[in-house]
Amino acid sequence: MESQSRSIHNKRSMAMIPALLFLSLIHGVHCFYLPGVAPEDFQKGDPLKVKVNKLTSIKTQLPYSYYSLPFCTPEKIVDSAENLGEVLRGDRIENSPYAFTMQEPQLCTVLCRIMIDAKTAKQFKEKIDDEYRVNMILDNLPLVVPIKRLDQASNTVYQLGYHIGLKGQYAGNKEEKYFIHNHLAFTVKYHRDLQTGSSRIVGFEVKPYSIKHEYEGKWSEKTRLTTCDPHMKRMVVNSNTPLEVEVNKEIIFSYDVEYQESDVKWASRWDSYLLMSDDQIHWFSIVNSLMIVLFLTGMVALIMLRTLYRDISKYNELETQEEALEETGWKLVHGDVFRPPSNSDLLCVYVGTGVQFLGMVLVTMIFAVLGFLSPSNRGGLMTAMLLLWVSMGIFAGYASTNLYKMFKGAEWKKIAAKTAFMFPAIVFVIFFVLNALIWGQKSSGAVPFGTMFALVFLWFGISVPLVIVGGYVGFKKPAMEDPVKTNKIPRQIPEQAWYMNPIFSILIGGILPFGAVFIELFFILTSIWLNQFYYMFGFLFLVFIILLITCAEITIVLCYFQLCSEDYKWWWRSYLTSGSSALYLFLYAAFYFFTKLEITKLVSGLLYFGYMLIASYAFFVLTGTIGFYACFCFTRLIYSSLKID
């Protein structure tokens, strides 16, 4: 398959990191976008395949198959092949009865006529109540509804999918009625190649209408509508006579197809979906995060260049042991600072899991920034993350057992097994419970048995063996030697000031890492839960780098203060200090739920908090590991500088 590359020249859609770092204040930022699909050329008269996808609602977050409602059906419903990511997203792509012919407009084409019974009426009303949208696909482009917005920089914004119907009232009547969108006015935009004469589809739009169709005589396949007749020049242009959903009434589905030539080239056809008018907010997020980084960097520089340099010089100049005993602070705990912590096995497991996450996120970010994980490849991002997760198992096993060996452990197989099973098992249990809830709602978002088996195979068949192999290699490699000897008898820790209380300092430590990402987090949550595209991977990559630096620096600063207070139990605290940012992430997710979402159903609320709990747990493991390794390197650096006999 011929690969297609393109460049979106747009300061809002950024992904080229070198250009950002050096030219962002002067020039526009470039984004390279590789859709991963070859363009398809159409000649006039060629049939176009219109496919239907899931029904979605931002109020319930429960997708349903298109044909779960009694819409018009083709002679035979055929499922399209879906990748792992699409299935997990709840996508169910199927063929449709809509028959389009390239560059041949259609007016008032009757699709079918159905009679509404009590069950059908109830189904339609429930979906209209929950504001469900119909999603369709043409040439891999999702169907959008153009909405004019006078308050935006761009006059037109696009809504993914059209609403099944709407609620309203007749004039002079307070009773609320349900109306269904039964007439669709499609617009297919195409770009013509002047040399070959062929055309490529660059846009797929619709305007839905609700109209009570009328006709003369009895209904038959050849019946001509009086409310929509191209021969009589009667077109549907509004919903002034809407069709109410009523028992024992009919619904006649119809559609128009209009073709518009466009100057937009095929390589740029996703621009209108991906353009975001809030790039200033993203820049504010970056600047806000950089201020935090600069502050912490100054703190670390002050510690490293002034305090530590002076302390080490003075300590190394001491001539007698009596003078050494008079010293206070971090130097006094050199005989205990590398004493293995309590629950060291669990710490090794979490550090290994964090390394696995760090590798997955880093590689995923790089692929996304380079444009390999584009929205045109539905489910590609989730599929890539799953495959990268299992592939990074070898690094998880290596990191956990190598650290375990440094703690003088001998049962490396036990540590490798815990690393392979602990985090995935906890996530799988939560996921299984949530999936059972979705099954109970008969939603297409429920993961089928076959896909569940594939996930288990990825876990047991690939991830677990790789973790074991990594664990074997990590344990065989010589462990790092401590820069100073550890005393046989533990030193008593003096009473600590209130602000050095472990719980207080851990909670304080998580604020700044969260502060570095919370603005970008808003856009990520919006894309996930409000059914919007997120393609600002350039900004996200920068924020991720800032997160790494912030986690490392805040942990180093608080670790130094802790050691100066003669508290040498830094192992777990370094992990929890930056890892506590996950607590703020979950609290922010709860704030977002109550302020931005309109979810009212219990199952939908449980799904939201269940998935955000998994995300927060993963964020805890990731940030905790970053903080741990930063503090680990810091302590080895400062204590290796001491001249101790």
Write out the DSSP string of 46-65: -EEEEEEEEEE-TTT---B-
Q: What is the pLDDT of residue 304?
A: 66
Q: Is the pLDDT score of 611 beyond 90?
A: yes
Stretch 398-417: mean pLDDT: 90
Q: What is the pLDDT of residue 181?
A: 92
DSSP 91: -
Q: What is the pLDDT of residue 299?
A: 76
User: Which of 65-74, 484-493, 499-508 bottoms out in mean pLDDT, i.e. has the lowest?
Assistant: 484-493
Q: Is the pLDDT score of 145 beyond 60?
A: yes
Q: Is the pLDDT score of 24 beyond 80?
A: no
- Per-residue exposure over 374-410, b if at least 16 CB sit within 10 Å of its own CB, e if not: bbbbbbbbbbbbbbbbbbbbbbbbbbbbbbbbbbebe
Q: What is the pLDDT of residue 408?
A: 85
Biggest CA pair distance of the chain: 113
How many whole angstroms from its chain centre is CA 506? 27
Burial degree of 36 (CB within 10 A; 0-12, 13-18, 19+): middle
* 16 pLDDT tier (thresholds 50, 70, 90): very low
Stretch 299-306: mean pLDDT: 72
Q: What is the pLDDT of residue 3?
A: 37
497 CB-side CA count, 13 A: 9
Q: What is the pLDDT of residue 31?
A: 38
* 186 pLDDT tier (thresholds 50, 70, 90): very high
Q: E strands, 390-465, where?
A: none
Please check whether residue 19 is in contact with residue 10, taking contact to mean a CB–CB distance below 8 angstroms: no
Q: What is the pLDDT of residue 564?
A: 84
Q: What is the pLDDT of residue 1?
A: 36
* 280 pLDDT tier (thresholds 50, 70, 90): low
Q: What is the pLDDT of residue 373?
A: 76
Q: What average pLDDT does the chain have?
A: 82
Q: What is the pLDDT of residue 92?
A: 85
Q: What is the pLDDT of residue 2?
A: 36
Q: Higher model confidence: residue 34 or residue 438?
A: 438
208 DSSP β-pair partners: 184
- Per-residue exposure over 50-73, b if at least 16 CB sit within 10 Å of its own CB, e if not: bbbbbbbbbebbbbbbbbbbbbbb
CB atoms within 10 A of CB 313: 10
For the record, the structure tokens of 334 come out as: 């050199």
User: Which of 10-14, 194-198, 333-337, 575-579 bottoms out in mean pLDDT, i.e. has the lowest?
Assistant: 10-14
48 DSSP β-pair partners: 100
- pLDDT (tens digit, 9 = 90+) per residue, 352-372? 999 999 999 999 989 888 877
Q: What is the pLDDT of residue 88?
A: 81
Stretch 25-39: mean pLDDT: 44
Domain coordinates of the chain in residue numbers? 46-273, 343-480, 536-644
Cα four-point dihedral sign 543, 548, 549, 550:
positive
Residues 6+ apart with CB under 8 A from 450: none
* 492 pLDDT tier (thresholds 50, 70, 90): confident
User: Which of 92-106, 374-388, 543-557 bottoms out in mean pLDDT, i.e. has the lowest?
Assistant: 374-388
Stretch 518-526: mean pLDDT: 85
How many whole angstroms from its chain centre is CA 326? 54
Q: What is the pLDDT of residue 313?
A: 66
* 379 pLDDT tier (thresholds 50, 70, 90): confident
Stretch 190-199: mean pLDDT: 85
Q: Is the pLDDT score of 10 beyond 50?
A: no
Q: What is the dihedral of CA 436, 438, 441, 444, to 10 degrees?
A: -130
pTM: 0.83
Q: Higher model confidence: residue 274 or residue 517?
A: 517
- pLDDT (tens digit, 9 = 90+) per residue, 524-575? 888 888 877 777 788 888 889 989 988 998 899 888 888 888 888 888 999 9
Q: Is the pLDDT score of 4 beyond 60?
A: no
- pLDDT (tens digit, 9 = 90+) per residue, 586-605? 999 999 999 988 888 899 99
- H/E run at residue 95: strand 94-101
Please check whether residue 51 is in contact with residue 93, taking contact to mean a CB–CB distance below 8 angstroms: yes
In Å, how far are 114, 184, 265, 330 from 108, measured between CA atoms? 17, 9, 30, 82
Q: What is the pLDDT of residue 29?
A: 36
Q: Can you tell me the distance from the alpha carbon of 66 to that of 153, in angstroms, rounded to the nearest whole number?
A: 34
User: Which of 285-299, 403-417, 458-472, 495-509 bottoms out in mean pLDDT, i.e. has the lowest?
Assistant: 285-299
Q: Higher model confidence: residue 25 or residue 114?
A: 114
